[in-house]
Amino acid sequence: MNEVSNQCIVLVGMMGAGKSTVGKALAKHLSWEFTDTDHLIEHQTGVSIPVIFEIEGEAGFRRRESTALASFVGKERQVIATGGGIVLVQENREVLKQIGSVIYLSASASELYQRTRMDKNRPLLQGPNPRRKIEELLAARLPLYKECASVIIETGRQPVYQIVNKISLALNLDQKNESSTQKAIGTE
């Protein structure tokens, strides 16, 4: 795997895969900035994602999501957690690769259901059978996540720090950080 240098790291995966939690921990580990595209959209619009879905529908939300994603092209040293459906738009899949390394955080439908079943802030899961909806979404999106991903990390039941370590190892981040620390010490 190529070194990331200062490019961004983008986390993709289903709702409940841990993108925000892992993203915050990874950003802290690297001393980079963290952004969640859903939170960015909420900040820009002043309303929650469910309200955007209610007023503009999924298509309106996806347009906002594409605009938010495009704002990261050319940025550096940021960890970005994306919405689960960001890969549905072909242009977004191309933009993801331009931004930096794309990490697919993978989890089973059963794990995703357990993590999201009490969350009322997920418009796509508010129907009569949220578990079946997760299975359908995962089946449709899985090939798109894999198409974009530089690295696939199974989140399973492991602690966040282990996932952060796996991402760091896969992207050669710790080696780079150690060598830059040694250079800084050597120049004092």
Q: Is 84 marked as binding a ligand?
A: yes
Q: For residues 174 and 24, what is the distance between their CA atoms, to the nearest angstrom?
A: 17
Produce one character per residue of 61-82: b if its CB has 16 or more CB atoms within 10 Å, e if not. Answer: bbebbbebbebbeeeebbbbbb
The answer to whether 45 is annotated as binding is: no
Cα torsion 99, 22, 44, 121: sign: positive
The H-or-E segment that residue 62 falls in is helix 49-70
Q: Is 122 annotated as a binding residue?
A: yes
21 is in an annotated binding site: yes
Task: Give the three-state DSSP class for 2.
Answer: coil
How many other C-beta atoms can be found within 10 angstroms of the C-beta atom of residue 125?
Answer: 20
Put the strands of the sheet holding 151-154 in their side by side order: 33-36, 78-81, 8-12, 100-106, 151-154
17 is in an annotated binding site: yes
- What letters, b where the CB count within 10 A reaches 16 and e where it falls short, cover 39-52? ebbbeeeeeebeeb
Dihedral (Cα; 163, 17, 35, 183), 10-degree rounding: 10
16 is in an annotated binding site: yes
Binding site membership for Mg(2+): which residues? 20
Binding site membership: which residues? 16-21, 38, 62, 84, 122, 141, 158
Binding site membership for substrate: which residues? 38, 62, 84, 141
Binding site membership for ATP: which residues? 16-21, 122, 158
